[in-house]
Each structure stands twice: as C-alpha cells, then as structure tokens.
C-alpha cells in the first residue's frame, strides 16, 4: 500500500489479531476498574463481632440520598417480612418483635413506640428501599443488638447488648391496647387513654386563618376565615354554658394570628385540649366530606396537600429573629408526648361528626400541621367540609349548619371528657 509516496505494509493475520486482543483487554480492564470504584462508593460492610461473620450490602442513590433494598437487609439479618399494599405498610419481624415502616412516610413503629426517620421509605419499580440510617438507628431496637457505624471504612459492627432503650432516643409511648385500622378508620377501635392525667379544665379553640389570610375561598366568594370563626364562637358558648369549663379562642374577631402565637396562646392558657377549626379545599370541585387530623407524618397525598395548604399561612408572618430552629424542634419533641391522646381525641370527634352530620366521613388522618407542632397539649385539626364544593359552600352560609358543626365540636369534647374521667383522668 502506498501512502504519501511511501510503501506501507498492511498488517495481516496474527498482528491484527494481537492489536484487537490488546484493545479488548484494555476495555475490560477499564470496565472492571470503573465497576470496582462504583462498588466501593456504594458498598458497606456489616461485621458480626461475636461470630466474625462479614456481609456486604450495596446502597442505591434515590434523589441523591443513600437507600438500601429492604430485601437485602431482610436476608442478612434473617428478618421476617410482611408487605401490606392496601395500607402501604411493610413489617419486618425478628423473634417476638416487629417494626413497621410506611411507604413514602418517615414514621416508624417499634412495638408501642413511634420513631421518625430523617428520610421517607421509598418505592421504585415495585421494590422498596429504606434509608441507610435504619441499620444503626432502628435495627438495634428490633434485634436487641448494639450496631455502631464506622464512617471511615463504611462498616457497621453488630454486637450483643443488654435489652432496653438508649436514653438519648426520643420516642412516644402508645398504649398496647390501641388499634388503628389505616385501611378503614370507620371501623371500631379499642382506644385507651393514658392514666394519671389531669381532668379537662381548659379547652383552646383555634379558628383558622383571619385578617390578611382569608384561608380557602368558595365558588361564590365565601371565605374560610369567616366560617370557622362563627363555628368557634358557637362552640365556645355551648362548652361554657353546658360543661362549665374554661374556653379560650385564639381569635374572637377577624384578625391575623401567626401559627406559633396560636400554639403559645394554648400553652399560656395551660390548655388541656387544643382544637384547630378549618374548612377544606380541593381542585376537585366535587370533593366533599369531613376529616380530622392529629400531628404525625402524612400517610397519603391528600393529607400532605391539606397540610401544605394550611401551612402556607407562614407567608403572611414576619420572621421572628428570637425564635430559633432549635426552639421549634424542642416544641416538636414535646408534642410527641401527646400523639396518643391526640389520636384518641381525633377518633372521638370523628365519630361524633360521622354519627350526627349527614356528610361523607373521610376518616381520621395524620399530617404535619405547623399549628399543632408547638402546642404542649393534645391537639387536633378538624376540616368541616369543602368550601370549594358548591353544595357544601351553600350549606356553610346557613346558621343552622354552622350551629350543627359547633354542636359536634361540643359533643366530641364531651365524649372525650367523659371517657377521660371514666379512665381515671380526674384529679
């Protein structure tokens, strides 16, 4: 072959084959090296100190955060697994203990304890992933083991420990007899209140929104802030006249009250109960019915949407330079002490609304409402129908309907107080 006037010998046979083999070997080496680096980045060691056994577990990045496939964790620690798609719950069990995770939620339950993860459980391609922190923050309680993480060499060391909880862990105790059916909140529940608590002396009613914050607005212009204030005023009158208890309203006129101040009002009044009153809204014009919330991680998209809307009120608030994130976190921890009682209150009020109002009952739900976080007392938020539904908005203009809503708030407090006192709540 001639090239630029010079004769070039074309490589043939073994020479060509040798070059191709070399290229192939270089390609394989690069591929293996890349795989090794990637594996090292996502690879964690689990060492069982007693037996010397070593296991490897790979993490996967979801939205930039590290997760582990629940099936891999199950195999390494010999855990039982029960997936309940209807309630979006995954149970992992070991001997006589069980831990429950909820898909798309940060909430974890270990026996009678409620814990919070920093990241939610995720689902991808019909596979379920847990945050990496589950290994050393949740599994020790399930396995009754000590699990320490060495960040330097990405190793979890598993060793025996005495049964019991670490004092630094914050959790909420729920009475074992409590049963909550997440699939159908309309079914009867065995609800047990904590004992040795003071009687119900003071109730704080919180009419949502107000002033520059109109809340939700109906098709004909009816404003949530006006509807809920009327309900609260009527409920206060019923409670005061018939039960003789002290009732405090966070607002008694059309004015704006920041969310933290509403909680502060309840705390300053030494409230035994805090009930925030709202009406609902939806882009679906035919959405209807009533629902009651207590503070916890949201279990479904609708609950998250409701909480997001109600929490939007912060855009009207001035930033308080004195209030720190640490202070608010501390109040959030304090509120966890009341989750069980709040759930009971929500269930009782939900039953009263269901029994006495000819409206669809959407059940008792959990959601992270900011207005409930700061209150150092059992707290719930009730959504009295959808103002965005033409028929329900029309009803909200009627004095008799508003009086009916107020009557059910009264009935709920009365039923709760009766149950509370009967179970030894009286001083």
- Residue 31 in domain: no
| Domain shared by 249 and 295, yes or no | yes
What is the H or E stretch that residue 367 is in? Answer: strand 361-367
Considering only CA atoms, give the Rg of the chain: 29
Of 101-105, 232-236, 294-298, 302-306, the range with the highest mean pLDDT is: 232-236
106-125 pLDDT per residue, tens:
888 887 667 788 888 998 88
Q: Does one domain contain both 167 and 241? A: no
Both 165 and 206 in one domain: the answer is: no
Q: Are residues 59 and 142 in the same domain?
A: yes
330 assigned to some structural domain = yes
Cβ contact 67:130 at 8 Å: yes
Residue 167 maps to a domain: yes
Domain boundary among 173, 189, 215: 173
Quick check: is 28 in a domain?
Answer: no
Per-residue pLDDT at 219 exceeds 80 = yes
Looking at the structure, do residues 150 and 248 belong to the same domain, yes or no? Answer: no
Question: Is there a single domain that holds both residue 134 and residue 246?
Answer: no
Within a domain: 243:
yes
Q: Per residue in 191-210, pLDDT tens?
A: 444 444 446 889 999 999 99
Highest mean pLDDT among 51-55, 75-79, 312-316: 75-79
What DSSP line would sit under 159-220, residue for residue?
EE--SS--TT---EE--TT----SS-TTS-------SS-----EEEEEE--BTTB---B-TT
Boundary-marking domain end, from 173, 193, 213: 173
For position 234, what pLDDT does the model report?
A: 96
Six token digits for residue 408: 């059910």
Domain boundary pick from 173, 191, 217: 173
Q: How many angstroms separate the CA atoms of 341 and 416, rounded?
A: 10
In a domain, 402, yes or no: yes
Mean pLDDT calculated for residue range 380-386: 92
Give the global pTM: 0.51
* Res. 83 pLDDT band, cuts 50 70 90: confident
Is residue 48 in a domain? Answer: yes
* Percentage of the chain exceeding pLDDT 90: 27
Say yes or no: 357 and 211 in one domain: yes
Domain that holds residue 60: 44-173
Does 182 have pLDDT greater than 50? no
If asked whether residues 157 and 217 sit together in one domain, one would say no
DSSP designation for 424? I
Three-state secondary structure call for residue 240: helix
**Helix, strand or coil for residue 88?**
coil
Instruction: Examine the domain organization and report whether 166 and 58 are in the same domain.
Output: yes
1 lies in some domain: no
Residue 207 shares a structural domain with residue 168? no
pLDDT digits (tens, 9 = 90+) for 284-342: 888 998 999 988 644 445 544 554 545 455 444 555 544 444 344 434 444 456 788 88
Residue 380 · residue 275 · CB < 8 Å: yes
High-pLDDT (> 70) share of the chain, %: 69
217 and 156 in a common domain: no
CATH value at residue 418:
3.40.630.40
What is the CA 352 to chain-centroid distance, rounded?
25
Average pLDDT over residues 251-265: 90
Q: What is the pLDDT of residues 111-161, one digit of tens each?
A: 766 778 888 899 888 889 999 999 988 998 888 889 998 888 889 999 886
CATH code where residue 63 lies? 3.30.457.10
- For residues 214 and 158, state if they share a domain: no
How many structural domains compose the chain?
2
């Amino acid at each position: 072959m001639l090239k630029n006037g010079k004769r070039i010998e074309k490589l043939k046979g073994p020479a060509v084959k040798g070059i191709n083999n070399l290229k192939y070997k270089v390609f394989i080496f690069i591929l293996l090296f890349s795989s090794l680096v990637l594996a090292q980045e996502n690879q964690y060691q689990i060492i069982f100190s007693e037996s010397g056994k070593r296991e490897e577990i790979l993490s996967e990045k979801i939205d930039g955060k590290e997760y582990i496939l629940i099936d891999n964790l199950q195999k390494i620690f010999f855990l039982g697994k029960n997936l309940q798609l209807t309630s979006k719950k995954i149970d992992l069990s070991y001997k006589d203990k069980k831990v429950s995770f909820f898909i798309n939620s940060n909430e974890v339950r270990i026996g009678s304890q409620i814990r919070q993860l920093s990241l939610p459980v995720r689902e991808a391609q019909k596979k379920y992933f847990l945050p990496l922190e589950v290994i050393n923050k949740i599994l020790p309680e399930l396995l009754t083991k000590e699990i320490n993480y060495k960040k330097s060499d990405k190793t979890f060391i598993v060793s025996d420990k005495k049964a019991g909880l670490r004092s630094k862990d914050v959790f909420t105790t729920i009475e074992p007899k409590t049963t909550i059916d997440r699939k159908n909140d309309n079914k009867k529940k065995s609800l047990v209140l904590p004992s040795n608590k003071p009687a119900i002396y003071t109730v704080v009613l919180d009419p949502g929104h107000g002033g520059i914050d109109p809340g939700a607005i109906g098709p004909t212009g009816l404003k949530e802030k006006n509807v809920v204030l009327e309900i609260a005023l009527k409920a206060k009158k019923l409670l005061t006249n018939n039960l003789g208890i002290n009732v405090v309203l966070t607002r008694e006129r059309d004015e704006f009250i920041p969310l933290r101040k509403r909680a502060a009002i309840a705390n300053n009044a030494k409230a035994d109960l805090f009930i925030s009153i709202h009406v609902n809204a939806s882009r679906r014009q035919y959405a209807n019915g009533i629902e009651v919330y207590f503070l916890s991680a949201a279990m479904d998209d609708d609950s998250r949407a409701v909480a997001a809307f109600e929490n939007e009120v912060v855009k009207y608030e001035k930033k308080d330079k004195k209030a720190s994130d640490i202070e608010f976190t501390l109040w959030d921890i304090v509120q966890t002490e009341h989750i069980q009682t709040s759930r009971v209150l929500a269930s009782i009020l939900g039953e009263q609304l269901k029994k006495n109002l000819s409206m669809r009952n959407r059940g008792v739900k959990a959601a992270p409402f900011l207005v409930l976080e700061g209150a150092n007392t059992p707290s719930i938020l009730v959504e009295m129908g959808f103002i965005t539904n033409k028929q329900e908005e029309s009803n909200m203009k009627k004095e008799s309907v508003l009086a009916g809503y107020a009557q059910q708030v009264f009935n709920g407090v009365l039923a709760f107080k009766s149950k509370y006192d009967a179970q030894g709540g009286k001083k």
